[in-house]
Amino acid sequence: MPKTTTPTATAPKAKAPKAPKTTAPRTTSSTDRTYDAIVIGGGHNGLVNGAYLAKAGLRTLILERRNVVGGAAITEELRPGFWFTTFCPKEDGDYLLLGQDHAENQKEIARHSRHDADAYDAFNHDVLKVL
């Protein structure tokens, strides 16, 4: 008896899921110095903004003059065993020290700006409304 073959039903081939489209990161060489965005300052705000720009696909350069990044979000050991946040509002090292005494705070602010010291009462009032 001759051998006969009967067609067998085959399931349709399942399509492989498509990989999500991603853009390959652009490579840079030491001679390629073009950027879509330049952030001046590697403080906490500059780092966050730079991260968002880079995440959006922009070639981003963040410049910081110090040898550490983080700005007011960093803590450094100024004396052995004593760690401080080293943020200063002025390049000459002058500072703004605020405490619990409203009148002392107003005098401290006035050292930098009489206008801001005059506005401090209204600012304090607004802050207290939020708390």
Per-residue pLDDT of the chain (131 residues), as tens digits, is 555 554 545 555 555 556 555 555 566 566 778 999 999 999 999 999 999 999 999 999 999 998 888 887 888 887 788 777 767 667 787 888 888 899 999 999 999 999 999 999 999 899 889 88
Task: Indicate the pTM of the whole model.
Answer: 0.45
Kindly provide the b/e burial profile for residues 106-119, where b requires at least 16 CB atoms within 10 angstroms of the residue's own CB: bebbeeeeeeebee
Q: What does the alpha-carbon distance between residue 89 and residue 113 come to, in Å, rounded to a whole number?
A: 12
